A = this chain, B = another copy of it.
Amino acid sequence: MSTTPTTPAAPGSTALDPAIAARLKRTDDGLLPAVAQQYDTGEVLMLGWMDDEALHRTLTTGRCTYWSRSRREYWVKGDTSGHVQAVKSVALDCDGDTLLVKVDQTGAACHTGDRTCFDADVLPLS
């Protein structure tokens, strides 16, 4: 496939195990939300999006790969920042529409420099 796609890979078009691909329930855009969690502390670090190809790369390279909805390209977390995510485990949820990726996060997960993307904006309860 092209190294510079502008849309997520069509289901079934990638090297992802067909037995896994068949269980995925994707958004209309061909994506699944992927929750990244620090494997030992349990911190929820961020939420990214994966198409079949990003999931395949995540399962086979040991590094978290997402589909960027804004840049419309794959991104290997940490390739530019050095803040890599080493993959410890990947689970598909009961509905087949969400991924939980347990990782070992180097440094900050958030582009703001915060450890997680959820550190800065706690909403008031009432």
Interface size class of A (residues with CB under 8 A): 35 or more
Task: Give 1 or 0 for each of A14-36: 1 = CB within 8 Å of chain B CB.
Answer: 00010010010001000001010
Q: Give the docked Cα–Cα distance between A96 and B112 (Å).
A: 13
| CB nearest neighbor in B for A125 | B59
State the majority secondary structure of interface residues on A. Answer: loop
A90 x B46 contact (CB < 8 A): no
Q: Is the CB of A125 within 8 A of B93?
A: no
Contacts A33-B33, A42-B42, A117-B98 given: A122-B47 contact, CB under 8 Å? no
A100 at the interface (CB under 8 A from B): yes
**Given contact pairs A47-B98, A90-B125, a sample of 7 additional A-B residue pairs in the complex whose CB atoms are under 8 Å apart:** A37-B42, A42-B43, A59-B125, A90-B123, A94-B112, A94-B117, A95-B117
